[in-house]
Structure 1
């Protein structure tokens, strides 16, 4: 039986930054998140509002610790990465995965060994 991944609403750039913080550093309070931003740091209310939006979208959840909310990621990076990649292919390569791979080849961003690994994965998936 194939496990379906949950679908999540699209993220803004600011929301994606916070998700990266949570994935890389684990559960955090808003004030901890603020320390990770470069100067000029956003206002605490901006970060707090963004985290609550992420919670409403289903990306994060919180636990109450000493009266404050500590937020943690519910969505995994792979949930986000697959959706983001599909969006990039749709928006910039007219929905063609081969055009995206061709661009990587032309810009020398992918090696022959990596291409062989991709072919092996496609063939293995086809045989499953």
Structure 2
């Protein structure tokens, strides 16, 4: 899937938090000064073209909803970061976290245990 702009990602978070909405409802969620209706409508249509949002017909208008879960989006985003900045090496990403002291030895042990549990579960 295509990457999202910061503003598009903001809109997606609103869909994940509030569920299906009409564009006017989405605009109402913004603080003052609110963005113009047409601006938000264009961004929502862009999200739909990228496959992140879908719509249902309601007469002459549409109600939009997230077509991608927040969890799926997070996984894809992490994969993109690892691909772009760590040459597709998850080990490289974890190593960077270790070097920056962003992950503890206890957390690494818990991660190893989780991996081993997953492998055991898959072989059953």
TM-score interval for Structure 1 and Structure 2 normalised by the shorter chain: 0.7 to 0.9
C-alpha displacement of 1:123? 1.9
- What RMSD, in angstroms, separates the aligned Cα atoms of the two structures? 2.1
Distance 1:96 1:31, change over 3 A: same
What corresponds to 2:53 in structure 1? 60
Q: What residue ranges of structure 2 are gaps of 5+ in the alignment? A: none
Mapped partners of 2:6, 2:86: distance in 1: 21
Does residue 120 in structure 1 map to residue 119 in structure 2? no
Distance 1:24 1:108, change over 3 A: farther
Mapped partners of 2:32, 2:100: distance in 1: 33
The SS at the match of 2:2 is coil
Larger Rg: 2
The runs of at least 4 consecutive aligned structure 1 residues that moved more than 4 Å come to none
The SS at the match of 2:102 is coil
Mapped partners of 2:17, 2:47: distance in 1: 16
Mapped partners of 2:51, 2:96: distance in 1: 34
Q: TM-score scaled to structure 1, two decimals?
A: 0.77
Distance 1:104 1:38, change over 3 A: farther
Q: What residue ranges of structure 1 are gaps of 5+ in the alignment? A: 1-7
C-alpha displacement of 1:48? 0.4
For 1:1-128, list aligned pairs within 5 A. 8-65=1-58, 67-127=60-120, 128=122
C-alpha displacement of 1:26? 0.8
| CA displacement, residues 62-96 of structure 1 (integer Å, 9 cap, x when unaligned) | 22346432211111112211111011112222222
C-alpha displacement of 1:39? 4.6
Give the number of aligned pairs. 121
Mapped partners of 1:80, 1:119: distance in 2: 24
